């Protein structure tokens, strides 16, 4: 029968045809057998096994001396319990060292030894948590186990290594003795073998056996490391259930703190809004009563002035309502943005055009715009047009409010790489360095009395930051007291041709 007539039968071959699959399997087995000899971590494992001897000796001294002194001091001086706690602490830090060594050398992936949820930073609750932690007592039990196990492993590896080194060195010592001695010299037979032709081959075989023992020790050392990783996972770490419970408790604490902050913000919101609404309402009421007073008719100029005050206070209330709506929608997760490419320079120009007359009339402040030259590529960014307008309105109004008479507020737009920058700068009072980290916090005011006098609610900058970040942008402030402030908004640039 020809080979081509047989399908699916690997045993039908020509006489002498090699079995490459079997040879490959043998080669893989040999490679796996010799792999530890070329693995640096196998030699680290060997050192790790030898290190069990001093560690076992340390644990023997710790347990023997520690326990004996603890029990004797209880009756002698009454301080045995604190001394025993000290022994527990020493044992804890000793096994911490072992864990770190295993993680550093072999990449042990271990669970933590404590959950860290104590509820207090005082020493007494922390000590109680330490004593209640099951890992504390498991660590102490681990030191007991390591005394016999550590000595057995360390001494076994040491004896095996000494034997293997002696066997590997045997042929070399024989050759050295043969090369340095004359025939018939007693040193020539120092290894206890004759000077026959079979001596050297036998010693080479002994050396090969010594190498095999070394490779076996490397395999054994790797198994020892695996055993210690299992032991460390079992005894030197919290259980998965404890870890899950601690994670859940931490999440509850975080949520509770978040709820407390949210409730505090709500209470603060109510208190602040009560103060903020009272002022414009009282102003509107007073000027409206003056206009409706039948005892004396105000002049046309007074009527105009009263109506201007009422209009200005109405605008303040409208801005306050807008801010409150943004805050409420943001907290409820209902703030929706319509992100699309918008021409930032056009929005900045509209804001300047709307607020420049008010700035000149109410504050005697000049508002200017520094926009790209006509014909230059438009500064187009991904943004919500209405929300970006609200951000610029807040920043410009803030600059106008804190700039003295004769000052200047500028709005500049330019493109920098893949970002569009909008800078609102003023020549006002500036912001102190200690106030800069909190300048975007809700209801934070650098000058409470001046903020109320200028109509600030303490929400504009916080809302501006939230809106800018929602549009995947950033906002930052640079300021120097007495020289003014500069708020810079950076948004993602968009290609101008996609503008609808």
Domain CATH code at residue 447: 3.30.565.10
Distance of alpha carbon 490 from alpha carbon 413, whole angstroms: 10
pLDDT of the residue at 119: 53
* C-alpha triplet 123, 126, 128: angle, nearest 5°: 110
pLDDT at 148: 94
Q: How many CA atoms lie within 13 A of 323 on its CB side?
A: 26
* Separation between Cα atoms, residue 388 and residue 491, nearest integer Å: 10
Q: Give the CATH number of the domain where residue 300 resides.
A: 1.10.287.130
Quote the number of domains for the chain.
3
Assess if residue 141 is contained within a domain: yes
Quote the CA–CA distance of 378 and 343 in Å, as a whole number. Answer: 7
Burial of 353 (0-12, 13-18, 19+ CB in 10 A): exposed
Distances from the Cα of 374 to the Cα of 16, 342, 370, 371, 378, angstroms: 89, 17, 12, 9, 9
Q: What digits encode the pLDDT tens for the residues 365-392?
A: 999 988 887 777 788 999 999 889 989 9
**Rounded CA gap, 287 and 291, in Å?**
6
Question: 29 in a domain, yes or no?
Answer: no
For residue 411, what is the DSSP state?
Answer: E
- The reply to whether 351 and 447 lie within a common domain is yes
Q: In this predicted structure, what is the pLDDT of residue 2?
A: 46
Q: Of 60, 213, 71, whose CA–CA distance to 144 is shortest?
A: 60
The domain in which residue 196 lies consists of 50-238
- CB neighbourhood size of 343 (10 A): 20
Cα–Cα dist 324/326, whole Å = 5
Rounded Cα gap, residues 420 and 257, in angstroms: 37
Asked whether residue 278 falls in the same domain as residue 323, the answer is: yes
Residue 137 included in any domain:
yes
* Among candidate residues 189, 220, 238, the one where a domain is terminated: 238
Q: Where among 238, 261, 281 does a domain terminate? A: 238
For the whole model, what pTM was predicted? 0.50
Contacts of residue 141, defined as CB under 8 A and 6 or more positions apart, other chains included, come to 235
| Rounded Cα distance, 409 and 92, in Å | 63
Residues 310 and 365 in one domain: no
Residue 299 domain-assigned (yes or no): yes
- Residue that is last in its domain, among 284, 306, 332: 332
Q: Are 411 and 404 in contact (CB under 8 A)?
A: no
DSSP state of 191: T
Say what the pLDDT of residue 55 is: 93
Share of the chain above pLDDT 70, in %: 83
> What digits encode the pLDDT tens for the residues 112-148?
888 765 555 677 888 888 888 888 899 999 999 999 9
| Cβ–Cβ < 8 Å for 397, 460 | yes
pLDDT of residue 408: 92
pLDDT at 144: 92
Residues of the chain with pLDDT under 50: 1-15, 187-190, 448-455, 498-500
Q: Are residues 227 and 289 located together in one domain of the fold?
A: no
């Amino acid at each position: 029968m020809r080979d081509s007539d047989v399908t699916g039968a690997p045993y039908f071959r020509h006489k002498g045809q090699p079995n490459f699959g079997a040879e490959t399997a043998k080669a893989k087995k040999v490679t796996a057998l010799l792999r530890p000899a070329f693995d640096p971590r196998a030699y680290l494992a060997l050192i790790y096994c030898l290190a069990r001897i001093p560690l076992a000796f340390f644990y023997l001294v710790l347990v023997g001396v520690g326990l004996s002194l603890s029990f004797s001091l209880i009756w002698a001086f009454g301080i045995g319990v604190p001394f025993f706690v000290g022994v527990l602490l020493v044992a804890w830090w000793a096994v911490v060292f072992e864990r770190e060594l295993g993680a550093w050398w072999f990449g042990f992936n271990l669970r933590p030894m404590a959950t860290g949820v104590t509820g207090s930073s005082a020493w007494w609750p922390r000590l109680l948590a330490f004593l209640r932690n099951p890992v504390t007592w498991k660590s102490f039990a681990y030191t007991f186990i390591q005394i016999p196990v550590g000595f057995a492993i360390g001494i076994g590896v040491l004896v095996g290594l000494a034997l293997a080194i002696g066997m590997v060195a045997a042929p070399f010592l024989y050759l050295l003795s043969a090369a340095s001695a004359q025939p018939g010299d007693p040193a020539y037979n120092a290894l206890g073998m004759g000077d026959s032709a079979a001596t050297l081959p036998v010693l080479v075989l002994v050396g090969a056996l010594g190498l095999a023992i070394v490779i076996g020790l490397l395999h054994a050392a790797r198994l020892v490391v695996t055993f210690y990783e299992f032991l460390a996972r079992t005894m030197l770490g919290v259980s998965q259930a404890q870890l899950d419970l601690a994670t859940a408790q931490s999440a509850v604490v975080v949520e509770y703190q978040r709820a407390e902050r949210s409730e505090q913000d709500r209470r603060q919101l109510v208190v602040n809004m009560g103060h903020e609404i009272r002022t414009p309402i009282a102003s509107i009421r007073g000027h409206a009563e003056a206009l409706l007073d039948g005892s004396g008719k105000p002049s046309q100029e007074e009527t105009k002035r009263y109506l201007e005050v009422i209009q200005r206070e109405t605008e303040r209330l409208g801005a306050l309502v807008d801010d409150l709506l943004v805050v409420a929608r943001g907290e409820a997760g209902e703030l929706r943005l319509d992100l699309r490419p918008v021409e930032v320079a056009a929005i900045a120009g509209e804001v300047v055009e709307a607020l420049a007359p008010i700035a000149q009339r109410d504050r005697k402040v000049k508002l200017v715009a520094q926009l790209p030259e006509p014909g230059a590529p438009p500064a187009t960014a991904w943004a919500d047009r209405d929300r970006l307008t609200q951000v610029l309105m807040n920043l410009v109004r803030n600059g106008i409010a804190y700039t003295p008479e004769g000052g200047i507020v500028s709005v500049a737009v330019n493109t920098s790489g893949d970002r569009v920058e909008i800078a609102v700068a003023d020549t006002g009072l500036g912001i102190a360095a200690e106030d800069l980290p909190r300048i975007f916090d809700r209801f934070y005011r650098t000058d409470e009395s001046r903020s109320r006098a200028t109509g600030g609610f303490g929400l504009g900058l916080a809302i501006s930051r939230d809106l800018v970040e929602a549009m995947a942008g950033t906002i930052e402030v640079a300021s120097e007291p007495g020289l003014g402030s500069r708020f810079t908004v950076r948004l993602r640039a968009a290609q101008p041709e996609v503008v609808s």
